Amino acid sequence: MFYKTMTYCPECGHPLEKKFLEHEGDIPYCSQCESFRFPVFNTAISAILFNETHDKILLIKQYNMPQHILLAGYVSQGENAEATVAREINEELGLTVKSLTFNATKYYERSNSLMINFAVTVTGDVNPNYEIDDWDWFSIAEAKRTIKDGSLAEQFLLEFLAKI
């Protein structure tokens, strides 16, 4: 597959061309740098937030969107995904991570991001920052009905709940 999003070399700016690489297929290639340029994408986390008794899930609304979703955020350079989860939850909601479990990863084309999802038990009182328009705790059944239909957040939530 030749990646449409990469048309120029990120090192020198020269136009990339398709070049076959054994075991990989057609890969963007810079003839000036004489290097293959594999796709570049963002890395982000999302989190299914459980209360300490695991009977409620916190869903948020943000960016003036009417639907409830999971908390998410980008991984900063040099940061691992687990640290990002703790940072984002604390920054956006004022909560502390008590424990976390990896759930799944999915590529999200709209933002060219690899999303890494975790199920997280949180403690503390919700104190949202400016990024959160609204939030609420929902029973597991309510969360399944309330989360944005057809969203990546819904896929992550349903996939995790099917495992428990």
Residues 31 and 111 in one domain: no
Q: What is the pLDDT of residue 41?
A: 87
Residues 51 and 128 in one domain: yes
Residues 74 and 96 in one domain: yes
Rg of the Cα atoms in the chain: 19
pLDDT tens string 30-46: 999 999 998 888 999 99
Q: Which residues of 89-110 are buried (b: 16+ CB within 10 A; e: fewer)?
A: bbebbebebeebeebeebebee
pLDDT tens string 75-89: 999 999 999 999 999
Residues 20 and 91 in one domain: no
Residues 58 and 23 in one domain: no
Kindly tell me if the per-residue pLDDT of 2 is higher than 80: no
Residues 71 and 103 in one domain: yes
Q: Which helix (H) or strand (E) holds 20?
A: strand 17-21
Q: What is the CATH number of the domain that holds 158?
A: 3.90.79.10
Band of pLDDT at residue 3, cut at 50, 70 and 90: very low
Residues 21 and 77 in one domain: no
Q: What is the pLDDT of residue 1?
A: 38
Q: What is the pLDDT of residue 5?
A: 59
Percentage of the chain lying above the pLDDT 90 cut = 90
Residues 73 and 147 in one domain: yes
Q: What is the pLDDT of residue 134?
A: 98
Residues 55 and 34 in one domain: no
Residues 50 and 34 in one domain: no
pLDDT tens string 100-144: 999 999 999 888 899 999 999 999 999 999 999 999 999 999 999
Q: What is the pLDDT of residue 92?
A: 98
Average pLDDT value over all residues in the chain: 94
Residues 26 and 57 in one domain: no
What is the value of pTM for the model shown? 0.85
Structural domain count, the chain: 2
pLDDT tens string 15-27: 999 999 999 999 9
Q: Which domain holds residue 151?
A: 42-162
Half-sphere exposure of 133 (CA within 13 A, CB side): 10
Residues 131 and 71 in one domain: yes
